[in-house]
Amino acid sequence: MNDREKRQSIIDACLRMNALGINQGTSGNISLRHGAGLLITPTSVPYETMQPEQVVYMGLDGSFDPAQRPSTEWRFHLDILRARPDVHAVVHAHPTYCTVLAIMGLEIPPIHYMIACAGGDTIRCAPYATFGTQELSAHAVKALDGRLACLLEHHGMIAVGPSLAKAMWLAVEVETLARQYHGCLQIGKPRLLPTEEIEKVRIRMAGYGHADK
């Protein structure tokens, strides 16, 4: 994709987040690796009126045009892309069930084999820190170590991937797992799959999920 197509793909993904019910208003934000930097959603711009030229380009040194205002969460987007050369897209949202678990400080355990899609046998919950801070960014990068998704305590979730399509697909899967775990907790303590089984599934599912063109 060229520059404008990438910018439009971010806008389309933002609209899709809300249509899918995994985000509300402009609380979510998305970034996409681009050249020597990244493209990221601007702050406080309704998705319905967002234009490609409003999507902000940032260098990996954190520089950006002072006439533009990137998402208030730009720090963890930048730090994740710096730390993870395998990641090309970052999706942050406030899905209801992920956020419920995050408020309770709960990680998602191996209740279902689909958890392997997030890279391991758990989806960790990063400790709370004020939004937009370097402290939150450090917590998020640590929670994502060896993983493709995490929860943020009292906040929401992050899903990452080698493409925006795959990161979006994973965000929906993580919210589904959160909803399933929430449902299990209403009944009792769920039985968990062993780590060895999740690793077996993870290897077997290599390449599973949204297929990029």
DSSP 140-167: HHHHTTT-SEEEETTTEEEEEESSHHHH
Q: Which residues contact 213 (CB under 8 A, 6 or more apart)?
A: none
Of 5, 73, 135, 196, which residue is the catalytic one? 73
For 122, the token pair is 């758990």
Separation between Cα atoms, residue 159 and residue 23, nearest integer Å: 13
Query: Does residue 9 sit in helix, strand or coil?
Result: helix
Query: Does residue 40 sit in helix, strand or coil?
Result: strand
Among 136, 189, 184, 181, smallest CA distance to 158 is for 136
Among 6, 111, 117, smallest CA distance to 53 is for 6
Query: Does residue 16 sit in helix, strand or coil?
Result: helix
73 among known catalytic residues:
yes
Q: Give catalytic residue positions.
A: 73
